[in-house]
């Protein structure tokens, strides 16, 4: 693939945003792509926003994605999808976890959580995939696997099925979580 693809992951601290981007990057590297990744943690340990940018192709010079240039945005929390929307290119894909995490300003009543987030996204994005990855992961046995469910949905959107993603996942998650994460990956690809 000569064309460089740009993927923006955005979520809240503790959702596994960084691990999902590391799994993606590792699989792409194994397949021979040039890959660049950057992460911004913000106040992640306090439930703040976490973003990771992954760019891959034949030759990538920077991990940073300019506004309007992301081929895919993977939002681990639906209001974060609204914040990231300016980065999505025309015709790009948006994969959204239909899940709410209320930030501190909302919890203390200083702000309100946006209403009808998914409806708003449907009006603005042509290629929108929504799934409740948290519920899917919880049904599989552990809500923490929601990141791999979302990764599976991303891989489906990118048509990157020539890579052995189960092997990549198995090499990067703890041994006790391998089977759960393989199931989560499959569930995301089928969502």
- pLDDT tens string 131-160: 999 999 999 999 999 999 999 999 999 988
119 Cβ contact list (under 8 Å, min separation 6): none
Topology at the third CATH level for domain 5-190: Pyruvate-ferredoxin Oxidoreductase; domain 3 (3.40.920)
Asked whether 39 and 171 are in contact (CB, 8 A), the reply is: no
If phi > 0 it is left, if psi is from -120 to 50 it is alpha, else beta; for residue 34 that is: beta
Residue 1 has pLDDT above 70, yes or no: no
- pLDDT tens string 30-41: 999 999 999 876
Asked whether 28 and 165 are in contact (CB, 8 A), the reply is: no
Centre a 10 Å sphere on the Cβ of residue 58 and count the other Cβ atoms it contains.
11
- Mean pLDDT, rounded, of the chain: 93
Q: Kindly write down the DSSP assignment for every residue of 20-69, as one continuous string.
A: HHHHHHHHHHHTT-EEEEEEE-TTGGGT-EEEEEEEEES----S---TT-
- pLDDT tens string 15-69: 999 999 999 999 999 999 999 999 876 654 556 789 999 999 999 999 999 999 9
pLDDT band at 103 (very low <50, low <70, confident <90, very high): confident
Q: What is the pLDDT of residue 129?
A: 97
| pTM for the model | 0.93
| Mean pLDDT within 78-97 | 97
């Amino acid at each position: 693939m000569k064309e460089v693809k740009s993927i923006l992951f955005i979520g809240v601290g503790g959702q596994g945003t960084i691990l999902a981007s590391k799994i993606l990057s590792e699989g792409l590297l194994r397949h021979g792509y040039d890959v660049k990744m950057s992460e911004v943690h913000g106040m992640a340990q306090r439930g703040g926003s976490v973003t990771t940018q992954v760019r891959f192709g034949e030759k990538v010079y920077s991990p940073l994605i300019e506004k309007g240039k992301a081929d895919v945005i993977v939002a681990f929390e639906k209001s974060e999808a609204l914040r990231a929307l300016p980065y999505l290119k025309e015709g790009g894909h948006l994969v959204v976890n239909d899940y709410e995490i209320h930030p501190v300003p909302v919890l203390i009543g200083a702000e309100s959580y946006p209403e009808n987030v998914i409806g708003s996204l449907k009006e603005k994005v042509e290629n929108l995939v929504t799934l409740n990855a948290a519920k899917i992961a919880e049904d599989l046995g552990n809500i923490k696997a929601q990141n791999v469910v979302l990764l599976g949905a991303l891989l489906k959107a990118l048509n990157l099925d020539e890579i052995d993603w189960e092997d990549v996942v198995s090499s990067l998650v703890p041994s006790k979580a391998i089977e759960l994460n393989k199931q989560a990956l499959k569930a995301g690809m089928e969502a």
